[in-house]
Amino acid sequence: MIACIAFLACPDTLPGSPSRRPDAFEHDLLFDAIQAGLGARAELTAIDWRAPLEQLAAFDLAYLGTPWDYTEAKDEFLVRLEALEAASVVVANPAQVIRWNADKLYLRELEARGAPSIPTLWPECAGPDEIAAAFDYFGCDRVVVKRRVGAGAIGQDSFTRAAPPAADWRIDQPAMIQPFLPAIQQEGELSFIFIAGRLSHALVKRAAPGDYRIQSLYGGREVALEPAPADRAAAEAVMALLPFAEPPLYARIDMVRLEGGELAVIEAELIEPYLYPQQGAEFGVRMAEGLLAQLL
Ligand SMILES: Nc1ncnc2c1ncn2[C@@H]1O[C@H](COP(=O)(O)OP(=O)(O)O)[C@@H](O)[C@H]1O
Ligand SMILES: [Mg+2]
């Protein structure tokens, strides 16, 4: 019998959805690469993660493809993944991994375990006072402020001492503030894609001129990269620090170079990372093997 695999998605990404985001072409590229890798061994079905539980429970495995709107409903999302596991559906990555990774406080844990990290303040909410204090704390002139539960740079801002936030600007949820790393606009952000704990491929993502966000939604572009041995080792070291007995099926380790030249982890993406299939010729086959191995 061929395996039935759900590719969990959402109205932002499902083909034909009226609210499909302009960057949902990433959904199509990821879906097509994995389906091609699976071939006749499994049927892959894109489906909203909020579909009725009995419909989702009919699948053998639920792969977290493009459920991009989970950041607005983290608890509901986790409850749903746990319900699927309780219904004997294999969830990849598992709900326990998703729970750990859904709050970027995990970065503090990785730092404590020895991962090279970006200095970060963790206010429970952020306003002009927190931003002003961050300039002094870091001794820098530009900061980035983002949500602790977030993705795709949504809700994120960057301020300079010369152009601070307006008096009524606020992030009314747990936030994180970092010094702005200039390397993002020069070298860019490096992504290392791991499947079943092994490096599959790497790439560099650069922002559009004038922007600093590397995501395709803001005009960012990516090219495949043969990483320098030291950079590859830095990403592998982050993988080794993940607090799980087994490496997750998939992981994207995003890194940015600090002024001193070493790569720091900006995100260890274990939930629904875009895995850049166009930059990794073997990606679809490797992911398919990994998914099918979960069903043995
Ligand atoms: N400290 C920083 N310095 C420079 N650019 C940053 C910094 N933090 C984030 N960015 C930019 O914003 C983007 C989104 O931030 P990130 O931390 O990756 O969160 P997410 O991808 O979950 O929204 C990054 O890819 C990068 O382009
Ligand atoms: Mg990111």
9-48 pLDDT tens trace = 999 999 999 999 999 999 999 999 999 999 999 999 999 9
pLDDT digits (tens, 9 = 90+) for 57-106: 999 999 999 999 999 999 999 999 999 999 999 999 999 999 999 999 99
The number of the ligand nearest the C-alpha atom of 153 reads 1
- CA–centroid distance, residue 108 to ligand 1 (Å): 16
Of 54, 56, 72, the closest CA to residue 64 belongs to 56
The number of the ligand nearest the C-alpha atom of 213 reads 1
| Atom 12 in ligand 1: residue holding the nearest Cα | 213
- CA–centroid distance, residue 151 to ligand 1 (Å): 9
β strands within the chain, DSSP E: 3-9, 42-48, 61-63, 90-92, 142-147, 157-160, 175-179, 189-195, 198-206, 221-225, 250-257, 263-269
Residue 128 in tokens: 């002009």
Three-state helix/strand/coil letters over 86-153: HCCCEEECCHHHHHHHCCCCHHHHHHHCCCCECCCECCCCECHHHHHHHHHHHCCCEEEEEECCCCCC
pLDDT at position 153 is 87
Residue 226 in tokens: 């043969």
For the chain, the first-to-last Cα distance in angstroms comes to 13
pLDDT digits (tens, 9 = 90+) for 205-252: 999 999 999 999 999 999 999 999 999 999 999 999 999 999 999 999
Residues of the chain with CATH 3.30.470.20: 106-117+184-270
| Secondary structure class of 215 (helix, strand, coil) | coil
pLDDT at position 63 is 98
The Cα-based distances of 123 to 116, 131, 133 in angstroms read: 21, 10, 11
pLDDT at position 1 is 78
Residue 90 in tokens: 């294999």
Percent helix, strand and coil across the chain, each to the nearest 5: 35, 25, 40
Query: 2: burial class by Cβ within 10 Å (0-12, 13-18, 19+)?
Result: exposed
Residue whose CB lies within 8 A of the most ligand 1 atoms, among 72, 144, 253, for a mutation test: 144
- C-beta separation of 90 from 61 below 8 A: yes
pLDDT at position 3 is 96
Query: 274: burial class by Cβ within 10 Å (0-12, 13-18, 19+)?
Result: buried
Residues with a CB atom less than 6 Å from ligand 1: 118, 144, 146, 150-153, 156, 178, 180-181, 184, 189, 212-214, 254, 266-267
Residues with Cβ–ion distance below 5 A, ligand 2? 267
pLDDT digits (tens, 9 = 90+) for 259-275: 999 999 999 999 999 99
| Gap between the Cα atoms of 193 and 251, Å rounded | 6
Residue 131 in tokens: 């931003």
| Gap between the Cα atoms of 267 and 144, Å rounded | 14
| Gap between the Cα atoms of 245 and 66, Å rounded | 26
- CA–centroid distance, residue 296 to ligand 1 (Å): 37
- C-beta separation of 147 from 175 below 8 A: yes
Residue whose CB lies within 8 A of the most ligand 1 atoms, among 23, 146, 254, 259, for a mutation test: 146
Quickly name the fold that domain 3-101 has: Rossmann fold (3.40.50)
| Atom 10 in ligand 1: residue holding the nearest Cα | 213
| Gap between the Cα atoms of 148 and 87, Å rounded | 30
Look at domain 106-117+184-270 and name its CATH class.
Answer: alpha beta
| Atom 8 in ligand 1: residue holding the nearest Cα | 144
pLDDT digits (tens, 9 = 90+) for 163-218: 999 999 999 999 999 999 999 999 999 999 999 999 999 999 999 999 999 999 99
For residue 180, the ligand 1 atom closest to its alpha carbon is: 3
For residue 214, the ligand 1 atom closest to its alpha carbon is: 27
Q: Is the pLDDT of residue 52 over 90?
A: yes
Residues 6+ apart with CB under 8 A from 232: 192, 199, 202
